[in-house]
Structure 1
Amino acid sequence: MVDKVTQIKVLLYGNALDFACETLGVKDMRYHKYSKVFTVSEEEVYEYTSINGIPQSEATGRNSMAEGFHFFEEEGKWYTFFRERGYIYHEKNFDDYEIGKKYIVHTLLQLAGTGLY
């Protein structure tokens, strides 16, 4: 079995489908649930980010023109939005730092397509 930290890193930074097939030995994810293949929960992912931080990159920041989910922290607040075809959608601002962080982790897990949320 692959350790939980490795699984969490894959869910936050990597490609869950490739990892499941190549490392966890699942031949076809069409017949498996990620929640049965990965042995971590959303709460464990959140706990990991509480210790190690949420993965950040220039591609997800405020000034990035990349498409996808963007988030950044500024003065103790979280700001999030989606950018698609140059337009910004679903902007959210979180005055409560922890609620914002939970939203970001939840969204990252949704975008990984795992169903662990």
Structure 2
Amino acid sequence: MICCFKEVPKSQWPEKLHDPNRTSVWINSRFLVQEFHEDGGVIRLSVNTREQELAGRWKDGISWDTLQEIKNAVGYADRDAVEIYPAERDVVNVANIRHLWILPEPLPYAWRRDS
């Protein structure tokens, strides 16, 4: 179970990696979550583990269940999110980071418990 995320004060964010769209950062013992406000009311959550592999990359292997728990734990339990698998020509894979796009409106094609 995922719990105990602490919001990181903006004064502690790295200046070297400044992104004007970043609005919040949370951390717990296992994960770093960064929130970015994108166009059209979409919010992007970038999630990575805090553990590094021997090569210096963040350890991979964040499950669907874990991403769902993280989305809920940082305040978006009531919102739909998507993870995108782009066309091959658009793949950018430079770090073990997962991205969830939190949508401003419910997805019309998502399964619902009451449907």
Fold match, TM over 0.5?
Answer: no
Higher strand share: 2
TM norm structure 2 = 0.27
Structure 1-normalised TM-score?
A: 0.26
Greater helix proportion: 1
